[in-house]
Structure 1
């Protein structure tokens, strides 16, 4: 398909589906068409690896940010920005376009997650193959899991950010994509240190070693403190057991018992927001982080990956935000900085279920490698475009 036609189709799908899904913060039709024409006019040898690929940007992430700069330099075409929660509210598990809640393409009565809500919907609905987002407590992984797509939070610093690392180093820039390959293609382009974030990690080129043994993994449904839906936990466990029985993965009986990260996370998040933090609370949060890092270091000396359900439940109804803590199984890995990726593994009562794969720091390649066989392609949701060609 010609670059301009592909972008035009994405713009059309975006406009048509936004009427029901409310995932667009600001459409950029004129800019997208102009950029698509510019890419099409380039000699083939000068086009980047993402030439003509439409994508969307989480609202609040401008064209000047490193991730967007690099995606555009690689030939990708932003067609608009996606919704996030109203920043004035405490609950960040939803999207809002200024008029209505962002809906889940699997069911208009259910939440699309947050905070990268619109990005997950844009991908799940087939408008774009990937979209940008951010993750402080699961904000890439939760909406991706709720919407049945892939969300990737690399090791802290994997993708440079305009302001560099925060004081608490909780937030990571990242990507939500239709497949693991879509996510990897975008992250490879975006990774590497940048003048706006010179402490970011080096460029990332994941490799697949030849003749490697099946990766060893531990499974935990609750991480020692969460209370996931038993049916959801069973669905994830059954998928992993099937792969273990086939010899694709090696399931290790390794207990995982973390303590609840909520108090430490809230303290460090307040620090990142510039709020006053009690000294004793800060010391306790940093002590929690050190203990968490030690516990996970011991775990990853025995296994290649830790796998959990991504969320304790499937998407809840879109107005019930304060009644659910969707980040229970995610936010410990923002505190520790470990890479984590969610992939769909099936559906429960018609709604997607995600599995989260966590690897040791700087082993983003291993998290991706373990995720590939686990992912289960889902059919298009009821509210979606025809897909890509």
Structure 2
């Protein structure tokens, strides 16, 4: 199997002339055509558009890098236009969860559920399902997504890749909401890629002028970090095997686990009220006041925690990937994730290892605005995984 190149490595080779953008794109298109009938990660494929762009790629830090756009994201969205301006080439749109579904941990192309490359009978997570499946399977090194309740981090965890939700406003939105729940972002096979692409996509835009200032690629590093650990947030804990895996990952040089943790309130009703208000549904004043109180309590508790530690570590999800249709009942499997959409803190999911042959992720949370700390600690803790059983051996250039 050919060695998989990162997005930054692909771009460097294309700029040097040792690799052509057309060859990279053709291999990505071939991998998509070969694997989509198995994994169903595509909403649509733009063969002609990708080939045209590859013939005259824009010169930039992502020159020649193929990527997928999450279904429902317009090509005019800031994250898309900025990746294209950096030289990246969209090859199509990836799947998301079926509209109106009570379970968001799946993808749907209109006919088939999106499958997980680690086990095709399992969910890839959602709602950025196709993005995570395609990245994990080696079709593209990066893909765009959006995270309003864990939709970047949950599929990253289930598929064994990286998903990063920056501080609220880190990447401008194409349609700002009232609640601030949504943060566009990136799923990638490599953390450095995800950080670099997030930096390129950051900064205010005419569609979201209130977005945070441009975020340069962070240089923070550290030999030691003080972290707090929780097996879950809001009173719901991960399965014992997931808990044990993440705890083992923290037994690493330079990691000091301290016995302090935030007392966070459950956010299910809060998130539902804020999400409903954003989508024009009727919400009572009492529900919105209660949501505001929970948000303020949790934000303050996290601020107090980060006065004592560098980061908070949790499992990303409560279990490994469930059946591909997703559970319709029971606790939300991404419960550790949506707390951070409510408060706006940066959170990144990286692989922590395998449980019964399936990936599990650990989530690194940092103080509001300290995306640099979150990604630095994540880099310290991430575990390299092998390729999944369904993988495009031709999905990366030789």
Cα deviation digits, residues 27-51 of structure 1 (max 9, x gap): 0010000000011xx6xxxx10000
> Contact 1:224/1:256 (CA < 8 Å) preserved in 2?
no
Q: Does 1:192 align with 2:203?
A: yes
Q: Secondary structure at the match of 2:335?
A: coil
Which residue of 359, 374, 390 maps to 1:367?
A: 374
Task: Write out aligned runs for 1:115-126 (5 A).
Answer: 115-126=127-138
Q: Does 1:88 align with 2:106?
A: no
Please list every run of 5 or more consecutive structure 1 residues that lacks an aligned counterpart in the other structure: none
Q: Structure 1: which 4+ aligned runs deviate by more than 4 Å?
A: none
> Contact 1:219/1:307 (CA < 8 Å) preserved in 2?
yes
Q: Does 1:258 align with 2:264?
A: yes
Q: Secondary structure at the match of 2:260?
A: coil
Task: Write out aligned runs for 1:82-231 (5 A).
Answer: 82-164=94-176, 166-209=177-220, 212=222, 214-231=224-241
Task: Write out aligned runs for 1:230-309 (5 A).
Answer: 230-241=240-251, 243=252, 246-247=253-254, 249-309=255-315
Which residue of 30, 41, 56 maps to 1:23?
A: 41
Give the aligned partner of residue 60 of structure 1: 72
CA distance in 1, matches of 2:25, 2:31: 10
TM-aligned CA deviation for residue 209 of structure 1: 4.2
> Contact 2:114/2:124 (CA < 8 Å) preserved in 1?
yes
Q: Secondary structure at the match of 2:328?
A: helix
CA distance in 2, matches of 1:221, 1:86: 29
> Contact 1:105/1:383 (CA < 8 Å) preserved in 2?
yes
CA distance in 2, matches of 1:89, 1:224: 24
CA distance in 2, matches of 1:344, 1:334: 21
Q: Secondary structure at the match of 2:363?
A: strand
CA distance in 2, matches of 1:320, 1:11: 28
Scaled by the length of structure 1, the TM-score of the pair is 0.95
CA distance in 2, matches of 1:179, 1:209: 18
Q: Secondary structure at the match of 1:268?
A: helix
Give the aligned partner of residue 25 of structure 2: 7
TM-aligned CA deviation for residue 254 of structure 1: 1.1
Scaled by the length of structure 2, the TM-score of the pair is 0.93
Q: Does 1:383 align with 2:383?
A: no
TM-aligned CA deviation for residue 195 of structure 1: 1.0
Please list every run of 5 or more consecutive structure 2 residues that lacks an aligned counterpart in the other structure: 1-18
Cα deviation digits, residues 93-136 of structure 1 (max 9, x gap): 11001111000000011001110000000100001111000001
CA distance in 1, matches of 2:25, 2:348: 28
1:320–1:68 distance in 2 versus 1, CA, 3 Å: closer
Cα deviation digits, residues 163-205 of structure 1 (max 9, x gap): 23x1111111010000101101211110011111111111111
Cα deviation digits, residues 195-253 of structure 1 (max 9, x gap): 1111111111133347x551211011122511310111011001112x1xx22x22212
Cα deviation digits, residues 52-84 of structure 1 (max 9, x gap): 000000001121110000000000000000001
Q: Does 1:339 align with 2:339?
A: no
> Contact 1:94/1:321 (CA < 8 Å) preserved in 2?
no
Matched pairs, number: 377
TM-aligned CA deviation for residue 320 of structure 1: 4.1
CA distance in 1, matches of 2:389, 2:268: 35
Q: Does 1:34 align with 2:44?
A: no
TM-aligned CA deviation for residue 17 of structure 1: 0.3
1:209–1:102 distance in 2 versus 1, CA, 3 Å: closer
Q: Does 1:349 align with 2:356?
A: yes
CA distance in 2, matches of 1:96, 1:155: 28
